[in-house]
Amino acid sequence: MCIRDRGPPPLQGPPSPYGPQPYQTWSQGYTPYNTPAPLNGMSIAALVLGILCCIPGVGLVLGLIALNQIKKRGERGRSMAAAGMVLSAFGLVVGVLGVTGAATGFWDDVKDSARNNSSASPVKGECFDAPSGSLEGMTYDFDVVSCDGEHDGEVFAVVRMSGGTYPGDKKVAATADDRCYALQDAYAMDGWAVPDDVDVYYVTPTEQSWSLGDREITCAFGNTDEKASLPGGSLRNDAATLDSDQVAYLKAAHVLNVALDSAPDAQYVEDDLPGHKAWAGRVSAALTQQAGLLESHEWPGGSEKPVAALVKDLRAAQKEWAKAAEASDADEFYAHYDKGADLIDPKKSVTARKALGLATTPPSYDENGGGGDSGGGDTGLEV
């Protein structure tokens, strides 16, 4: 499996029924860092004898020895050892009992045991540690741990890919990048509550695990320093942890954040006036939608006035962004853009957020205007 993020790396695919498959991790902007540990020879022998079933039981013994050696030496081959144990045990039971029903039952027990012996990929909402202590390079196991203490990562989504043949590392990584960044806001709805040193990583299938049926991409939060941990506490804030008023506010805010995040690649309006005008049109439409969503919700007493004041600013901002979308030149665009951006300055939403019990510290942004968390786009704005 492979780990990636916008600054650091990605992880690759869940384990097969025969044990965990390798996870490779990349840092953003770097080529795959793939230096796997030595392969345990005993695990190979266990798998071969398990497949041949020529000496029932030997593969089981060799598999146990291999697992012990792998644990002590840090070698690869746990999945091969587990597969050899499963196949050898099945062959042994069939040979001894000769009873299909009993053999099938024992086969299921052995498979469960093999799964329990290996570390499965964590699921949505679970936190984990990478054995190497780094979300980079290659890994074969994940240790699921409590989110209460320090941990390396927290899973916020699991995506399943489709297709017959392995699409290649670049295609898998591109899919993971698109899907994981699109799904982070559904798990951490309030981007303001996500610390600045948190970034997105993902675990993707390797070509080896793909051949065994692995199609899952695991999206996770991790520290921007891939060798550092996340502090205790879950980053989850969604409908499962927030009240209905908080969810309503964040859903409305997300509409605008998505539009802001769709800014054209050209940094300067002069380089792509049509692209910036189209973007301003999307922001204008989003402001209309956001204001409508906020107005249609019945807010509790303490938050009604702050939200109403926010809506007033949004309506005024919408007019400026609409004028920017119709600008005849860059100077006219800038004039309306500046006014519109001031009206949706994140600080203007602090009072409403405080009344609703949401985070009140706006995210910090780098010198290029990009946010360190979800949303915000190239404008450095996130409401």
Q: Hey, which of 51-55, 96-100, 139-143 has the most confident mean pLDDT?
A: 139-143
Q: How large is the average pLDDT for residues 296-310?
A: 95
Which comes out higher in pLDDT, residue 109 or 280? 280
pLDDT confidence of residue 210: 87
* Per-residue confidence (pLDDT) for residue 237, from 0 to 100: 93
Mean pLDDT over residues 137-148, rounded?
79
What mean pLDDT is predicted for residues 315-332? 97
Stretch among 239-248, 328-337, 369-378 having the lowest mean pLDDT = 369-378
User: What was the pLDDT predicted at 146?
Assistant: 94
Cβ neighbours for 204, distance < 8 A, ≥ 6 positions apart: 1, 2, 4, 10, 11, 12, 13, 23, 172, 173, 176, 217, 218
Summary mean pLDDT of the chain = 78
Q: Is 221 helix (H, G, I), strand (E, B) or coil?
A: strand
Q: Is the pLDDT of residue 140 over 50?
A: yes
What are the tens digits of pLDDT across the range 361-377?
988 765 444 433 333 33
Tens digit of each residue's pLDDT (9 = 90 or more) over 335-365: 999 999 999 999 999 999 999 999 999 887 6
Q: Which residues contact 179 (CB under 8 A, 6 or more apart)?
A: 157, 159, 217, 219
Q: Which of 97, 149, 157, 111 has its CA nearest to residue 128?
A: 149
Mean pLDDT of 86-97: 67
225 versus 64: the higher-pLDDT residue is 225
Closest CA to 88 of 61, 65, 120: 61
Alpha helices per DSSP H over the chain: 41-52, 58-73, 78-97, 100-117, 169-187, 207-210, 244-260, 273-296, 301-325, 330-343, 350-356
Report residue 283's pLDDT band, with 50, 70 and 90 as the boundaries: very high
| Secondary structure (3-state) at 232 | coil
Indicate whether 28 pLDDT > 70: no
β-strands 143-145, 153-160: how paired? unpaired
Output the six-digit token pair for 88: 């050898």
Q: Quote the tokens at residue 131.
A: 């054995």
Q: What is the pTM of this model?
A: 0.66
Q: What is the pLDDT of residue 319?
A: 98
Residue 36 predicted with pLDDT over 90: no
Candidates 100, 98, 62; CA nearest to 82 is 62
User: Which stretch of 38-42, 251-255, 305-309, 373-377 has the lowest confidence by average pLDDT?
Assistant: 373-377
More confident residue, 114 or 87: 87
pLDDT of residue 117: 42
Q: What value, to the nearest 5°, has the Cα angle with vertex 298 and ends 296 and 299?
A: 120
Q: Is pLDDT of 12 > 70?
A: no
**Which residues make Cβ contacts (< 8 Å) with residue 304, sequence separation at least 6?**
none
pLDDT score, position 61 = 78
Confidence check: pLDDT of 17 > 70? no
- For residue 6, name the pLDDT band (cuts at 50, 70, 90): very low
Q: What pLDDT, in 10s, does the model give residues 179-206?
A: 999 899 999 999 999 999 999 998 888 8
Residue 22 — pLDDT band, cuts 50, 70, 90? very low
Q: Residue 331 pLDDT > 80, yes or no?
A: yes
**Mean pLDDT to the nearest integer, 168-175:** 91
The more confidently predicted of residues 94 and 332 is 332
Residue-level pLDDT at 363: 83
Which residues make Cβ contacts (< 8 Å) with residue 328, sequence separation at least 6?
none
Nearest CA to 95 out of 45, 46, 60, 71 is that of: 60
